[in-house]
Amino acid sequence: MEVFRNWTNEHRQQFRKRNIAVQHRLSETGLFTDEALANLLDRHPSSKLDVMTMGSPDGPYPNALQDGDPRGCSGKVLIEAAKAGRLWINVREAMNIYPEYKRVLDMMYGEISERTGIRRFNAKGGILISSPTAVVPYHCDAKETILWHIRGKKRFYAYPATSQYLPDEGYEAVVLRERDEDLPYSPSFENNAEVFDLEPDQMVSWPLNAPHRVENQTYCVSVTTEFSTFASAFKNGVTVTNGLMRRKLGMNPSWYRDSLPAKAAKFALGQVLKKTPMYEQSLRDSFMTFKVDQKQPGYIVNMEPVLRHF
Ligand SMILES: [Fe+2]
């Protein structure tokens, strides 16, 4: 089976340089039906399962994702909850753990390698199961990420990876894991958004770290894949150093202003800093604030925040 339906030479030239959308055939594998997913969820370890909902739509971080307790629900109930509630479920690494899904992941990246000439990827892939009203807040990913949308409809908004949309301090917070992957948002950003109305079996790919957000229009199933490249590892190493310089030393460093030799020195330093308590201390604890309960109308019941220790 060929994964892509309408890959062109233009896609080849623009891959990771521009935002592109391409049609694929992942739904034909039969691995993403509700039945297959319920079965998968029943096998999946809760340490690699995120069940999230969205917070207030106001403030600098609108709709920030909140962690729920993923334990104690059957796959069937989780699928029902995704259809009825306001949930964003990430079955992390599902595409790597199970052989039938891994075969598909290898096909996806095999075909990208073939079509772009880029060889090794070591991609990780998660499956996203999300509610008709779910949104993903404005954020960026610290690795090279692709969204393979499979079922339902969602609107995807992509923004330029420039200092206005991706400020130094915001990206440092992502790399230091201070607050998930959220970035501060302003409605004025919409002037420069590129919008994709994703149909079933359509993938969208964007340049490294380009901020984006998503609004679901129906119940949705998608796959998200990420991989590291030298470019992403280099930038993240520099960013660890910059983030700690700002936070521990009160300085005002900038990825955008630094020369290449300065970045190279900071990258080397970042490799050392990552092994020190300075870096460890900046990593945030994660708290679960709700659980899924099939007796509630939206399948969500709030609880006292509990530290996620798994
Ligand atoms: Fe993302």
* Tens place of pLDDT per residue across the chain (310 aa): 899 999 999 999 999 999 999 999 999 999 999 999 999 999 999 999 999 999 988 888 899 999 999 999 999 999 999 999 899 999 999 999 999 999 999 999 999 999 998 877 789 999 999 999 999 999 999 999 999 999 999 999 999 999 999 999 999 999 998 877 789 999 999 999 999 999 999 999 999 999 999 999 999 999 999 999 999 999 999 999 999 999 999 999 999 999 999 999 999 999 999 999 888 887 778 899 999 999 998 999 999 999 999 9
* List of E strands, 152-278: 154-158, 194-198, 202-205, 212-216, 220-227
Secondary structure class of 122 (helix, strand, coil): coil
For residue 215, report the distance from its CA to the centre of ligand 1, in Å: 12
Secondary structure class of 203 (helix, strand, coil): strand
For residue 224, report the distance from its CA to the centre of ligand 1, in Å: 8
CB 182 within 8 Å of CB 137:
yes
Cβ neighbourhood burial of 207 (10 Å; 0-12, 13-18, 19+): middle
> Would the pTM of this model clear 0.85, i.e. be above it?
yes
For residue 181, report the distance from its CA to the centre of ligand 1, in Å: 8
For residue 197, report the distance from its CA to the centre of ligand 1, in Å: 16
For residue 132, report the distance from its CA to the centre of ligand 1, in Å: 18
CB 181 within 8 Å of CB 139:
yes
For residue 144, report the distance from its CA to the centre of ligand 1, in Å: 9
Per the rule left: phi > 0, alpha: psi between -120 and 50, beta: everything else, 93 is left
For residue 79, report the distance from its CA to the centre of ligand 1, in Å: 22
For residue 64, report the distance from its CA to the centre of ligand 1, in Å: 13
**Cα gap 22→18, rounded to integer Å:** 13
Neighbours of ion ligand 1 (CB under 5 A): 141
Beta-sheet strand order (sheet of 144-151): 20-23, 202-205, 144-151, 220-227, 124-130, 88-91, 49-54, 65-69, 287-292, 300-307
